[in-house]
Structure 1
Amino acid sequence: MSAVNKSAEDGDSFSSKVIYIVFVILLLDLLGFTLILPLLPSILDHYAQMGDVVYQSLQSVVDWFREAVGIPLEKKYNAVLFGGLIGSLFSLLQFLSSPLTGALSDRHGRRPLLILTTLGLISSYAVWAISRSFGMFLLFRVIGGICKGNVSLCTAIVADLPCPKARNRGMAMIGIAFSLGFTVGPLMGAYFAISSRTTGNIFYQTPALLALAFSVADLVFIWLMLPETLKKDVKDPSSGFGDSRDLLNPLSLFHFTAVTKSKDPPSKKRMQKLHVLGLVYFCYLFLFSGLEFTLSFLTHQRFQFTSMQQGKMFFFIGVIMALIQGGYARRIKPGHHIRAVHMAIIALIPAFILIGLSWNILMLYSGLALYSFAAAIVVPCLSTLVSDHGSANQKGTVMGILRSLGALARALGPVVASSVYWIAGAQICFLLTSASFIIPLVLLRTAQRLKEE
């Protein structure tokens, strides 16, 4: 009996160690990733004022489309649509790379793939730091989009943990890392952009160098501290690229075909639930990412927010998310996650209405508070639900596909939202999105019925 207790204690100790290591890895990764968030409108303005050849060429395509559909010239709305197209490039590359990264980690292990993707991120931030043209800036986004596998790999690491309670706690800690990253990162980006200007450098150079430093520190920490969580006896030698169509075809991804065709697939009922949860995840992020992207432009145009004010806004969002995840989200009991997601998505409906119609700062921040509550709950809970599907040697594939669906949603969401924003204005954009949340709510109800049968 004592041997069993000692084994359980050792397992708990190992799980706790892995969870805190994953927390640090993701925090460093997200601090570097979020530095650019409050700077994006200013970066686009910078290249527009420079008369950069690549920027002007792409802008001419936007102008052609505007003229083709007969929309009057509004430079402020042009920036939103143009920014949406640039933002979607990163997510589209994520959509292509995430399932391959996850599947390869099922074959070769989480640690080697995490080291490889972090090396790629280091190279992307180095390109940003030395960039002096819009073409170089695009190259930075392309490399980063291909190599940004840290989130799905860290989620797979947590899914490898043997105890459901440990996995639940690990997903909550991933959420807290996101909250802290999105709290501190944008504020740091805005602060160092201002200090970079005062020293006579290009305003984004210091944030770019800081992102590079965070990524290098992340690589060192992974190399020194992270153990391999995928045991040799559960590694799937058939994993990897396999039939690449199953990892790149959107229809196959929505059906989790790579999991269905594996050696030990889940039952038919569990696969049905996995399909529905994947749809919920996609629909939620498709709608949510539209607001997430256009928010900076709305505050920049309606309230004339500076980069520092944008950073403070993200700080406010991040603090609320951290409080919710540290207090409520990590205490959600197994079996109650769907109910929590349902409640959070309902909260997004008034959140989008308040933000879209806001005519003063108080109204804006009231909407942001509800927005932050939902953001703190939905993705961690859905990730926990999905991580329970698939055998031990399929976790990387399952989480990679989920991440890919999220990336596809984030690629399409900003384009659609910024197009509606451009054509109909901010209020219509946010109100339409608010009404559209009925779709994931209906899908959630379907997932709940599958559970109850």
Structure 2
Amino acid sequence: MSDTSKSEVVAPSSSKVIGVVFVLLLLDLLGFTLILPLLPSIMDHYAQTGVGMLMRPISPCRARSTSSGRRWESPWKRSITASCLEFLSSPITGALSDGFGRRPLLLVTTMGMMTSYVVWALSRSFATFLLFRVIGGVCKSNVSLCTAIVADMPCPKARNRGMAMIGVAFSLGFTVGPVMGAYFAVADRTTGHVFFQTPALLALAFSTADFIFIWLALPETLTQDGKGFSSGFWDFRDLLNPLALFSFSAVTRSKDPPSGDRMQRLKALGRVYFCYLFLFSGLEFTLSFLTHQRFHFSSMQQGKMFFFIGVVMASVQGGYARRIQPGRHITAVRMAIATLIPAFVLIGLSWNVTVLYAGLALYSFAAAVVVPCLSTLVSDHGSPGQKGTVMGILRSLGALARALGPVVSSSVYWLAGAQICFLLTAASFIIPLCLLSTARRLKAE
């Protein structure tokens, strides 16, 4: 069969898989993000029922702003808890998918999410609510599994298109989901129900639809020949130890490890990914506090701001990012990270809302490009039976960065002020740019 004939056969299959991944991930994220605007109210709700030390405001925040202390505490704890659980579960789920296939693991994790939403809908105590968050955190591996599905595609252009569409699903999910959650919470209050009852049931409905869609529409992308556990899977130190994750030890110890040069490049890309998300997630986390303190944004104005960010990101990912040609991804990532420096300088110095939104536009462009491109670059490494492990480790490094970044950034924010926090972190983006030069040099060699 000619190359043209082969591409004609493969292209429709790749397009179908990308479409299915987009829909299933969007459904998953819509259910996951419904709770985001409700968390402060949920924390207040359980504080009134007496949950002790867990609900006390963080002292640095209380010292800086007693009115926003409790607002700061609940998302901070949520960020740490959810990210740590994802850090633990993503590499293990990815490695299991290399042995059993992507589709069975997606069905299992989606069923776990359905269970967590049932617990949330029935929760009447903080302990039950915490159980819901733990179950959801352990089962929140759908993103790494979806990236593994896209990584299974043999065509580099299809992989790039797939990673960009995963980014679009994220942007839409985090734009629409919180708005829906807030709307139905208000409706519950007017009807006298527990304010999170309908959002919890709606999350369950999205997750159930996701399970049915996976069952009916998602094909198995990992071939029978590609299935098999890497030799490092059973050594949990390779999947849970941060130092081993940075070294991608589970891939190095496998039966068919990549060559030395490719392993060095994979490690360099992992360091870039971690460093970028560590800095970015910290400023992303403190953004709403800056707008609250400096411009006195209401909840509705905050929602409009994040809606603007989501629309810009979805437009960039659906237009520019998915059309980046193979071999141009490192250049695109370098340009995007460099754009973040003036973006966060403008946000940190913003003296009016117009300047703030100019910085947010640059911020949204960069955020839409970096992670999909880095995911595409990393997906090029490893044999077919290692893609789940590779993408799971990458997602785990990202979760670790998202757990640590907000802690450090928030500490600087409350101790030194918003301006110093944003300007200092903006300058720090030189570090991932230098690390990216290492990955570029290794590619050239």
In the alignment, the residues of structure 1 paired with residue 286 and residue 126 of structure 2 have an alpha-carbon distance, to the nearest angstrom, of 21
Is 2:357 the partner of 1:361?
no
Structure 2 SS opposite 1:234: coil
User: In structure 1, how many angstroms separate the alpha carbons of the residues matched to 2:330 and 2:201?
Assistant: 41
Residues 321-400 of structure 1: pairs in structure 2 closer than 5 A: 321-400=313-392
Q: Is the 8 A contact 1:80 1:294 kept in 2?
A: no
User: How does 1:180-259 map onto structure 2 within 5 Å?
Assistant: 180-238=172-230, 241-259=233-251
Paired residue secondary structure (1:203): coil
Q: 1:306 & 1:127 partners in 2: Cα distance? A: 31
Say yes or no: does 1:435 pair with 2:412: no
Is the CA contact (8 Å cut-off) linking 2:96 and 2:229 kept in structure 1? no
Match of 1:92 among 60, 84, 91: 84
CA deviations on 1:288-329 (whole Å, 9 max, x unpaired) are 111222233433444444443333222211110111111111
Rounded Cα–Cα distance in structure 2 between residues aligned with 1:271 and 1:417: 31
Corresponding residue of 2:25: 26
Query: What's the CA shift string for 1:377-422, capped at 9, x where partnerless?
Result: 0000000000001111100000000000001001111222222223
Note closer, same or farther for the CA distance 1:358–1:202 as it changes in structure 2 (3 Å cut).
farther
Partners of 2:232 and 2:251 within 8 A in 1: no
Say if 1:437 and 1:46 are closer, same or farther in 2 by CA, change over 3 A: farther
After TM superposition, the structure 1 stretch with the greater mean CA deviation from structure 2, 429-438 or 72-81, is 72-81
Displacement of 1:174: 1.1
SS in 2 for 1:335: coil
Report the residue type matching 1:57 in the other structure.
M
Q: Whole-Å Cα distance in 1 between the matches of residues 45 and 417 of structure 2?
A: 24
Identity of aligned residues (%): 73
Unaligned runs of 5+ in 2: none
Q: 1:140 to 1:390 in 2, by over 3 A?
A: same
The AA in structure 1 aligned to 2:197 is: Q
Aligned twin of 1:43:
42
**Letter of the aligned partner of 2:390 in structure 1?**
V
The answer to whether the 8 A contact 2:229-2:385 is kept is no
Deviations 1:59-101 (A, max 9, x none): 44844x889xxx6774524542453133211000100010000
Q: Who is 1:53 aligned against? A: 50
Q: Which residue of 2 aligns with 1:308?
A: 300
- Quick one: distance in 1 between partners of 2:64 and 2:312? 39
CA distance in 1 between counterparts of 2:14 and 2:227 reads: 19
Structure 1 window deviating more from structure 2 (161-170 vs 384-393): it is 161-170
Q: Is the 8 A contact 2:61 2:72 kept in 1?
A: no
TM-superposed CA distance for 1:364, in Å, is: 2.4
CA positional deviation for 1:30: 1.1
Distance in 1, matches of 2:442 and 2:7, equals 33
**More deviation, 346-355/150-159:** 346-355
The aligned residue for residue 405 of structure 1 is: 397
Larger deviation, residues 350-359 vs 325-334: 350-359
Letter in 1 for 2:88: L
1:183/1:314 contact within 8 Å kept: yes
Q: Deviations over 1:247-288 (max 9, x none)?
A: 001000000000001111111111111111000100111111
Confirm or deny: 8 A CA contact 2:87 2:396 kept in the other structure. Answer: yes
What do you get for the CA RMSD once the two structures are aligned?
Answer: 2.2
Whole-Å separation in 2 of the counterparts to 1:40 and 1:178: 20
SS of match in other structure, 1:258: helix
Contact 1:104–1:239 (CA under 8 A) maintained in structure 2: no
Does residue 452 of the first structure (1) align with residue 437 of the second (2)?
no
- Name the residue aligned to 1:275: 267
Cα distance per residue 1:161-207 (max 9 Å; x no partner): 12111111111111111121122222222222222222223333322
Q: Distance in 2 between matches of 1:12 and 1:73?
A: 55
Q: Residue type of the partner of 2:20?
A: I
How far apart, CA to CA, are the structure 2 residues paired with 1:317 and 1:197?
29
Residues 102 and 399 in structure 1, CA contact (< 8 A), matched pair in contact too: yes
Query: What residue in structure 2 maps to residue 146 of structure 1?
Result: 138
Closer/same/farther in 2, CA of residues 42 and 422 from structure 1, 3 Å limit = farther
* 1:335 partner amino acid: G
Stretch moving more, 267-276 or 168-177: 168-177
The residue that corresponds to 2:118 in the other structure is 126
**Runs of 5+ unmatched residues, structure 1:** none
| In 2: Cα distance, 1:306 partner to 1:194 partner | 16
Distance 1:101 1:216 in 2: 20
Correspondences of 1:100-139 after superposition (within 5 Å)? 100-139=92-131
Q: From the superposition, tell whether residues 168 and 66 of structure 1 become closer, same or farther in structure 2 (CA, over 3 Å).
A: closer
1:291 matched residue in structure 2: 283
- For residues 73 and 311 of structure 1, what CA distance do their matches in structure 2 show? 22
Name the count of aligned residue pairs: 445
Distance 2:150 2:163 in 1: 7
Secondary structure of 1:233's counterpart equals coil
Give the corresponding residue for 1:16.
15
CA contact (8 A) 1:103 1:396 kept: yes
The one-letter code of the counterpart of 2:243 is L
The SS at the match of 2:257 is: coil
Determine the C-alpha separation between the residues in 1 that align with 2:347 and 2:41: 22
Write out per-residue CA displacement over residues 130-155 of structure 1, whole angstroms, 9 at most, x where no aligned residue. Answer: 33333333222211111001000000
TM-score (norm 2): 0.94
Q: Is the 8 A contact 1:85 1:414 kept in 2?
A: no
